[in-house]
Chains A and B, each alone.
Chain A
């Protein structure tokens, strides 16, 4: 038997038990988490034993997800021996779940490895407890993806929200972090409520809450739209779509960096998953205006996130806003897919959905990478403010090099992965004139311009992020002592960076993985027949891209230039001070700052912000310039709601007089009233 034959037979055998194996790995995560409680304060045990094992399990999950995608067989269903009597939990593994499991495993492996080197004892939650919360979080995300009935889904969805809440507030002695955690929990619960209501509508009056029953339910257009809108609000709150995004820039920076990476890279994707599951799987019909709505919200979120990221001065907040931007891009793709599917253009729908799926995968990889890199920087320097960093490329060469890959990827530069998904999305925008609606086919192509603007702004943001942290001179004397990340952290970062490169150079792999999903959801895939180093999603004469050829080109040009310079200019090198532009004494105070770099954006997009500026008086001897930037939506939307709730609570609070006999009287009167009512 040849090796290939043996492997394929082995794969088939493995794919048959895919679901149970995944569930066992998830159980393994839970066991690892519980093991953290054995010696909660022993950092060595928790960090160097449990977290690497968790990373191994994550690799396993990714592997099994990939196999399920490759095998492409009919969905596997399992009844779990858990849940309420007569209401067992259902689990199901189909290609959509498999894709998101792949995403979860790939990014989770890198983050867990990094976390092994990152977590150390200190203030806040003990490492063992953190280990429990972390692995429960991971496991609940995997189970969200596998759940096949509304009960199970809601239980694990809430588990996910709660475990991440505890992770966010691990530094619970700091009041801002407690506040951020509360805001997060509040929004998570509002979202969960909407999702619950959406499931309530989806069951269509038959009171069967398995997803299978929901697939069979036929809803009137009104109720189908209600279910869709509730799902959009619920999952949008989790994903951070504007205007439900307010928790995101608070909660993500508050968490420890590996947790930020998990939340931004993975948890937001569970919302994308839920949206796809309900829209393309559970609902039997889609209307075009749903697509326009999602598209609009997505584009606005993308632009909003990019603009706000550009003016941030805290590196983790910057990345959090960038997450809003990327989620916006993903939802733009989903919106286009809904629109195309509703208009009977399945091929283009498949293209847009492919773009959204691949961008989800990409974002999981590069955003995790960047959040982890900020974690290393934070550990090395104790600084989060961009204004106090700089020049770290010399102190932390490993982190700088790996973060550069993530930065280039997120900026959407070829030959890395960010380019692939953004290119695919722009491609699908090119087909919007074929939509059979008079105004839509003229207006939506404008969205492509908006998307291009967003992508350009994102690149601008990333130049700022990387340039201010790693390039130039250090802005604080203490940065001289910054040390590079340790080897476990480096492995975690390198794993994610490799993922970015692999998808960028061999996009066909990601295209095939996404193709398996679109095949199930839409019954249509983009053109997958190209070789692995080449993609031509619609037809090879339409548009095609090859990361490998581009990489070869880049390497070739750089190599030739290098050799040419070496050969031709050899021996004629003159070593002297470079031209200083007339400023011979460059100090770090003269460098462009984060605020300065963002200033043009702040100026151009002024109406988006609420700014409070404090300018020093001309005679001030120690002048201080201060600018405080705020989200307008916070004041327009959230504060009035908060005030209303407060007022209502005050009224209700009048009931609480403190007298025990009054309380008894309340229940007595209620009893009498109910009895009269019965009479």
Chain B
């Protein structure tokens, strides 16, 4: 088969694995596993961006692929690993609300995302237009993960995974956002991440735990 026919098929495969990773993240209890999955998600994103860049011949997308590799595959997972070790949270696991129900809700969200993506895919002209639905589903699943988790670190991972979904949506719908915006988002992500990292320590100092349910006591009566 000619490589140019293979690329769309490969992209679909990658998109599907992205969705699979998202579901895996939804069901994982252990923080360390979650970080590994997040790194995998980043690397799939990196490969797919590389493929899109190659097939569309856009140099800008090569840059964003590099950015993805550096930031989401190497830097953030490494920092997260270090952070969990420093916080002594590497063996943390959390009790999730009924995993099968979460999965079912996730399935519903995926269907919703595909329905939502149909009119958009019809308008898009990119070779990746079929994967917009998957990108939206990844965003929704990450959001769902944030809702079901209670630990501060897992919330942040959910937040980062959501950004991955957004990035994937941008590449599949319009071959990526303008470079300036992408750089800006990358910087935002990094800064936000650092601030959240500081918060981790503050939260632990205050409550002796990273469990966010302690924050409920902050509510004004």
Contacts and interface: CB of A to CB of B under 8 A. Distances in A.
Interface string B127-170: 00000000000000001101111100001000000000000000
B101 interface: no
Contacts of A668: 143-144, 147
A477 B119 CA distance: 88
B90 to A, nearest CB: 22
A672 B112 contact: yes
B155 A660 contact: yes
B183 interface: no
Contacts of B216: 657-659
Interface in B186-221: 212-213, 215-220
B53 to A, nearest CB: 29
Nearest to A663: B147
A664 interface: yes
B219 A658 contact: yes
A668 B146 CA distance: 10
Nearest to B139: A671
A675 B140 CA distance: 12
A656 interface: yes
A389 to B, nearest CB: 44
A679 B133 CA distance: 14
A660 B215 contact: yes
A123 interface: no
Interface residues of A, number: 13
A658 B219 CA distance: 5
Interface in A514-533: none
Given A665-B147, A668-B143, A660 B116 contact: no
A660 B207 CA distance: 15
Contacts of A679: 115-116, 119
Given A665-B147, A671-B143, A679-B116, A660 B212 contact: yes
Nearest to B115: A679
A593 to B, nearest CB: 46
A8 B123 CA distance: 74
Of B147, B155, B217, B220, most buried by chain A (CB within 10 Å of CB) is: B147
Contact of A664 (B147, B213, B218, B220): B147
A661 interface: yes
Contacts of B119: 679
Interface in A647-675: 656-661, 664-665, 668, 671-672, 675
B121 to A, nearest CB: 14
Nearest to B158: A664
Interface string A273-305: 000000000000000000000000000000000
Contacts of B213: 659-660
A95 to B, nearest CB: 51
A675 B217 CA distance: 33
A659 B213 CA distance: 7
Contacts of B218: 658
Contacts of A658: 215-219
Contacts of B146: 661, 664
A679 B112 CA distance: 11
A661 B148 contact: yes
Contacts of A665: 147
Nearest to A653: B220
Contact of B116 (A661, A664, A675): A675
B122 to A, nearest CB: 13
B110 to A, nearest CB: 13
Contacts of B219: 656-658
A86 to B, nearest CB: 22
Contacts of A675: 112, 116
Contacts of B112: 672, 675
Given A672-B112, A675-B116, A679-B116, A661 B150 contact: yes
A55 to B, nearest CB: 47
A309 to B, nearest CB: 41
Contacts of A664: 143, 146-147
A665 B102 CA distance: 13
A664 B146 CA distance: 7
Nearest to A667: B143
A668 B219 CA distance: 21
Contacts of A656: 219-220
B147 A661 contact: yes
A129 to B, nearest CB: 30
Interface string B104-132: 00000000100110010000000000000
A435 to B, nearest CB: 58
Contacts of B147: 661, 664-665, 668
Contacts of A657: 216, 219
Nearest to B149: A661
Nearest to B118: A679
A671 B165 CA distance: 15
A668 B148 CA distance: 12
A664 B142 CA distance: 11
Interface string B70-104: 00000000000000000000000000000000000
Among A659, A660, A671, A672: residue with most chain B CB under 10 A? A660
B142 to A, nearest CB: 10
A675 B116 CA distance: 8
Contacts of B143: 664, 668, 671
Contacts of A672: 112
Nearest to B112: A672
Nearest to A662: B147
A503 to B, nearest CB: 55
A668 to B, nearest CB: 5
Nearest to A664: B147
A675 B213 CA distance: 30
A672 B108 CA distance: 12
Contacts of A659: 213, 216
B99 to A, nearest CB: 16
A659 B214 CA distance: 9
Nearest to B155: A660
A672 B143 CA distance: 11
Nearest to A671: B143
Contacts of B155: 660
Interface string A444-488: 000000000000000000000000000000000000000000000
Nearest to B145: A664
A668 B140 CA distance: 8
B127 to A, nearest CB: 25
A523 B143 CA distance: 67
Nearest to B216: A658
A665 B145 CA distance: 11
Interface in A360-408: none
A675 B114 CA distance: 12
B42 to A, nearest CB: 23
A70 B55 CA distance: 77
A671 B216 CA distance: 24
B23 to A, nearest CB: 17
A671 B213 CA distance: 24
B34 to A, nearest CB: 17
A659 B150 CA distance: 9
A665 B212 CA distance: 15
Contacts of B148: 661
Nearest to A668: B143
| 6 closest cross-chain pairs (CB), A and B | A658-B219, A658-B216, A664-B147, A660-B212, A661-B147, A668-B143
6 contacts: A657-B216, A657-B219, A658-B218, A660-B212, A661-B147, A679-B119
Given A660-B212, A661-B149, 8 more contacts: A658-B217, A659-B216, A660-B215, A661-B212, A668-B144, A668-B147, A675-B116, A679-B119
